[in-house]
Structure 1
Amino acid sequence: MFLKIKNVAKMFDEKNGVKEISLNVEKGEFITLLGPSGCGKTTLLNLIGGFLTVDSGEIILEGENIEQVPPEKRKVSTVFQNYALFSYYNVLDNVAYGLRYFRKLPKKEARRLAQDYLKMVGLEDYADYNISKLSGGQQQRVALARGLATNPKVLLLDEPLSNLDANLRAQMRCEIKELQRKYNITMIFVTHDQVEALSMSDRIVVMDKGCISQVGTPKEIYLSPANKYVASFVGSANYIEENDKCYLARPEDIEISKSVDGDFKIISMMFLGAHTDIIVEKENKRFEVSVLGNKIIDMEINDKVNLHVLNKTEIL
């Protein structure tokens, strides 16, 4: 196993931290730690990076126990949420920093090699630019290049897209994933954004209150959630109680049709272009329905409708 996290615990008080977490990561895998604020995902990332020390457990990288190894000597690099770039260096020297001070290369060689890493992220023409002159997305690429320049065995990314606007976030998701696949980089990515997790990950680790709720591929997490917490955090969820069992029906798994004798009433409609999110209600029971295209063109708020569940999954 490339990276093995075995029974790792780090508690700041009775409620905050991580509790006896175990996780295996394969070489070249893109793992996302997903969960709300305070669930322990950044704590776990900082334990792997060496910025926090474990209370108990082991972190083993390629057979070596690294929990007592200081951050600067671990074969691990971190891209922080605020990028942590040096404003008094230009782009090239920001990337060369890791090569000089971690890989101990002479200045001239470090700057030459830094140019190669800038080319990897498409910034070779910006080498002499001051950091303050770059856009958010360009600064993100510089941070990635600097992280990669230390030649880490694992690259850690702590919510690196949270400061970007929606369009740029979508673009950077694609670029980071393409870079990871092209160079077979092992990445561990922290986010609370389900879209980022579903679109980028080989596997997702859903966390809650310092524990792992489920580990699986994006399809496994979305289509076969382990429990209601995972189902509700990753996507929208409708719950149907039948014969003492609970079933999950995603909004796209429910068909809606207008009818004057319908059992439900539309109480909300949100047009989002490619699809429309509709909330219907019956006797204080609400369901969310997602309809593609123009199938709802004749529907309005307060219309009576019927629902037909196309697919449902039993859930704990």
Structure 2
Amino acid sequence: MTTVTLQNLRKEFGDVVAVKGIDLEIEDGEFLVIVGPSGCGKSTTLRLLAGLEATTGGRIEMDERDVTGVEPKDRNVAMVFQNYALYPHMTGRRNITFGMKSSGDFTDEEIERRVEDAAETLDIVDLLDRKPEAMSGGERQRVALGRAIVRDPDAFLMDEPLSNLDAKLRIQMRAELARLHSALETTTVYVTHDQTEAMTLGERVVVMNDGQIMQVDEPQALYDFPANRFVAEFIGDPAMNMIPVDIEDGRAVHDAFTLPLPSVDEPASTDRNGAGDAPLGDTQRAVLGIRPEDFHLPDARSDDGLPRIDAEVNVREPLGDSLLLHCSIGATSCNIQAAPRTAVRAGETVSVTYDPARLHLFDAETGDAFYHSESHHSTDEQVLSRASK
């Protein structure tokens, strides 16, 4: 297994700065996912790790060995590409074994053994004698994974490997990748723009934007305690609602409602995500974050004494397992997630309440989080309870 360290890593393309001096440590055997929108620098970071791009500045270490200027063939990493990169005139077996003799000291017997082991692991034994044109997208991706596995690399680098697959096959391949990593325990860096892939695959997730790291944490922590507004809106589907408010005497004041803000059990400054204690007694502009699933229609909760918020329903969006209501709260647009067969029509006004433990405040200027109403030091049982809702 391999530890990978990035120190002040920077990449410029002329006047464009694609990666802006990031620092990151990837642990032995970890499955780390880098996620972000198009153009955020995630694929460039992966190509820098692979040696396919030269760094403008900074340092890359693998097991404390400086590989910043080392050629890709000498880094002992295997890359899986978005477009599979299979040779169309070669069989699956030849695609898997191509280059093994030149990249390592493998005997014919060892190559054959590795191919058979990889084929059994990936369930592609019957594909070894087929050419890519006779394979489906998922089968081609398995062959591409086989080509990476047989080299027994120090690290796998995966650049959006599932983005060309249909939705059902992506779900199947996500499970296959998770199973594969559990079996091989090889350090893996996986790049995607899909936050669902990031949340389901990553042991830790790096959220990037504009060439910078916004937050690094476990998936559930990103969801529960976003470090800033960008992470809050990017992680979660539907996205977190953002409502401009004034903070007055420990309350969030909006034209359409006033909500009391519960006290945090422990000082937020001790939280790993860096949100400091909110000066909730001072008057200030802020943005209140509430996820759609943390709003509740009247029939979903008993009378708990919480303030009610009037929301006008503009559009109903049935999703099968839930009903998404696009609403207006005063002049602010919000989404509210309800039970799938809730009898609400467009044009109606509903009175909703909310989960007081799931409120977030972000600085109106910087977007940094400075308040989460839930304790920042939840027990594992509390985290699992939230995740099951």
3-state DSSP of counterpart to 2:297: strand
Quick one: which of 347, 351, 358 aligns to 1:306?
351
Partner residue in 1 for 2:172: 171
Deviations 1:238-292 (A, max 9, x none): 124241343321111111248xx98221111111111111111133211111123
Q: Paired residue for 1:287?
A: 334
> Percent identical across equivalent pairs?
33
Within 5 Å, which residues of 2 pair with 1:69-218?
69-218=70-219
Q: Secondary structure at the match of 1:247?
A: strand
Q: What CA distance in whole angstroms lies between the structure 1 residues aligned with 2:185 and 2:105?
A: 24
The answer to whether the Cα contact below 8 Å between 1:76 and 1:154 also exists between their aligned partners in 2 is: yes
Distance 2:130 2:115 in 1: 14
> In structure 2, the residue corresponding to 1:263 is in which secondary structure?
strand
Contact 1:18 1:40 in 2 (8 A): yes
Q: Are 2:221 and 1:220 equivalent residues in the alignment?
A: yes
Q: Is the 8 A contact 2:319 2:340 kept in 1?
A: no
Residue in structure 2 matched with residue 251 of structure 1 by the alignment: 292
Q: Counterpart of 2:315?
A: 268
Q: Which runs of 4+ in 1 moved over 3 A?
A: 13-16, 106-109
Normalization by structure 2: what TM-score?
Answer: 0.77
Q: Answer whether contact 1:262 1:304 (CA < 8 A) is retained.
A: no
Deviations 1:33-55 (CA, angstroms, capped at 9, x unpaired): 11111110011000000001111
How big is each residue's C-alpha offset from its partner over 1:132-162, in whole Å with a ceiling of 9 and x where there is no partner? Answer: 1111001111111111111111100001111
- Across the aligned residues of Structure 1 and Structure 2, the Cα RMSD in angstroms comes to 1.7
What is the TM-score when the length of structure 1 is the normalising length?
Answer: 0.94
Name the CA shift for 1:89/1:255 in 2 (closer, same or farther; >3 Å). same
Range with greater deviation from structure 2 (155-164 or 283-292): 283-292
The answer to whether the 8 A contact 1:256-1:305 is kept is: yes
CA contact (8 A) 1:249 1:313 kept: yes
Which of the pair has more CA radius of gyration?
A: 2
Give the counterpart of 1:277 among 310, 317, 324.
324
Letter in 2 for 1:301: A
Is contact 2:312-2:327 (8 Å) kept? Answer: yes
Higher deviation after alignment, 128-137 or 277-286: 277-286
Q: Secondary structure at the match of 1:72?
A: helix
Q: What letter is aligned with 1:256?
A: L
Q: How many residues are aligned here?
A: 312
Which residue identity is paired with 2:213? Answer: I
Instruction: Specify every segment of 5 or more residues in structure 2 that has no aligned partner in the other structure, as ranges.
Output: 248-283, 300-307, 363-367, 369-389
Q: In structure 1, list runs of 5 or more residues that go unmatched.
A: none
Q: Residues 203 and 217 of structure 1 are in contact (CA less than 8 Å); yes or no, is this contact kept in structure 2?
A: yes
Conservation of the 8 A alpha-carbon contact between 2:78 and 2:155: yes
1:238 aligns with 2:241: yes
Q: Which residue of 1 aligns with 2:251?
A: none
CA deviation map 1:57-102 (0-9, x unaligned): 1100011101111011111110011010111111111111243332
State the distance in 1 between where 2:99 and 2:226 align. 41
Aligned in 2, Cα 1:131/1:179: closer, same or farther, shift over 3 Å? same
Counterparts in 2 of 1:265 and 1:141: CA distance versus 1, 3 Å: same
Q: Does structure 1 residue 5 correspond to structure 2 residue 46?
A: no
In 1, are the aligned partners of 2:293 and 2:338 still within 8 Å (CA)? yes
Q: Distance in 1 between matches of 2:86 and 2:105?
A: 19
Separation in 2, partners of 1:4, 1:35: 20
Deviation at 1:109, TM superposition (A): 3.6
Taking structure 1 as reference, are residues 262 and 113 closer, same or farther at Cα in structure 2, changes over 3 Å only? Answer: closer
Residues 1:49 and 2:50 aligned together? yes
In the alignment, residue 287 of structure 2 is paired with which amino acid? C
Q: What letter corresponds to residue 239 of structure 1 in structure 2? A: M
Contact map agreement 1:92 1:115 (CA 8 A) in 2: no
Structure 1 residues 92 and 292, CA gap change in structure 2 (3 angstroms): farther
Structure 2 CA distance for aligned equivalents of residues 126 and 264 of structure 1? 56
Give the secondary-structure state (helix, strand or coil) at the position aligned to 1:172.
helix
